[in-house]
Amino acid sequence: MTRQLRITLALVLLVITIAVSRVATGFSDKEVIFYPTYGFKQGTDWIIPMRAKVQEPRSAELMFNALFRHLPARDASETSRFKARIADFVADDESGEDVRVQYDGDSEQKKYRIADANGRFPETDANGMVEGTLTLPDAVAQRLLAQQGSTGGWLSYRAVSAEHTAAGRVRLIEPTGVSVISDIDDTIKVTEIPAGIQVVLTNTLYRDFVPTTELRGKYESGGDVAFHYVSGGPWQLYRPVATFLIGGGHFPEGSFHMKTLAASIRKPVTSFEHLARFVMPDGTFQHKVTEITRIMERFPRRKFVLIGDSGEMDPEVYRQVQSQFQTQVQEIIIRDLTNARQLEPNRLSGMTIVEARTVTPGLSQLSR
């Protein structure tokens, strides 16, 4: 996601932060968003990092009329997409929620709670978030995989705590094998960064998403390859993006690792500070390095293919990761949409370069 796009989203969200409390939710059910994750082996247990958000949806129609009615006129389909894509930005975050899950088909019907690093079971915070881990003994995991008829190590689970509805997925990844770490915007989803901020915003909020085609074969290897999608985009865009990429069958199922953008209406000053940090390019660089490092440390015996684009800092992120994990990084693949291979050849040195179909010469410096 470009810095310009992050700034624009930040300004929109600042308006939302100030005005959103004026609009009633219009709903009574609380929904939980379980973000797709993975499990790694530790001794005889599987450790599953968990991230969940509890929120109460707000009326998209009321919210749109209150906050966005002065936007330039769009046709009905584009307006409908816009409402859907801002839904998780304007939802009412629910704090103090006790989230419990149960694996589908579990003959023992055991309920699990997300534990923090101290072994306690936290409730959701002011932003409706709860993060921690679930621990699953391998014997139980194998039984659940069999009961669910699982392929590829995937397990399904659902929320069973009071007033919560949700379903989630986790892949138990073996200690050895090949993993792909992939960026999203302009790597596997067309954002058209070279076309400028208005086109980028239109593609992100109004238009049907379009998959890139140049790298498709890199995601069709099948077998035991595991996928992790690491993006500088905000978690609030996870659902529309994942529905398109994974639900639409364009790319394989995998874990998601997006950027935290707090927007609690209860703490507008804190929210503004988060927005300021969100738009800084160094924050995205550090976010990606941190997330990728954590994954690779948990799988020291796996080989990794890193896939990104030249539009922002993927080459720099991946070079930094490669310097830390030289024996684990099998290949770095860059979709070059800024003609960096000619304008900045040293930047992509040693990487596999895939030419994007549309390239704007001279844009590489601007897009970074």
Q: Residue 163 belongs to what H/E stretch?
A: none
Token digits of residue 86 = 């801002």
Domains and CATH numbers, the chain: 3-172 (no CATH), 177-367 (3.40.50)
The whole-number pLDDT of residue 222 equals 63
- Reference 95, options 328, 318, 265; nearest CA is 265
- Reference 132, options 225, 47, 215, 32; nearest CA is 47
Say if CB 124 and CB 264 are below 8 A apart.
Answer: no
The whole-number pLDDT of residue 57 equals 84
- Reference 229, options 256, 190, 189, 260; nearest CA is 256
Say if CB 283 and CB 309 are below 8 A apart.
Answer: no
- CB burial of residue 4 (10 Å; 0-12, 13-18, 19+): middle
Would you state the torsion angle of the CA atoms of residues 21, 24, 30, 32, taken in this order, to the nearest 10 degrees?
-50
The whole-number pLDDT of residue 298 equals 98
Q: Residue 301 belongs to what H/E stretch?
A: none
Token digits of residue 349 = 């040195």
Q: DSSP readout, 93-121?
A: E--S---EEEETT-TT---EE-B-TTS--
Residues of the chain with pLDDT under 50: 18, 20-24, 264-273, 275-280, 359-368
The whole-number pLDDT of residue 198 equals 76
Q: How far apart are CA 41 and CA 137, in angstroms?
A: 10
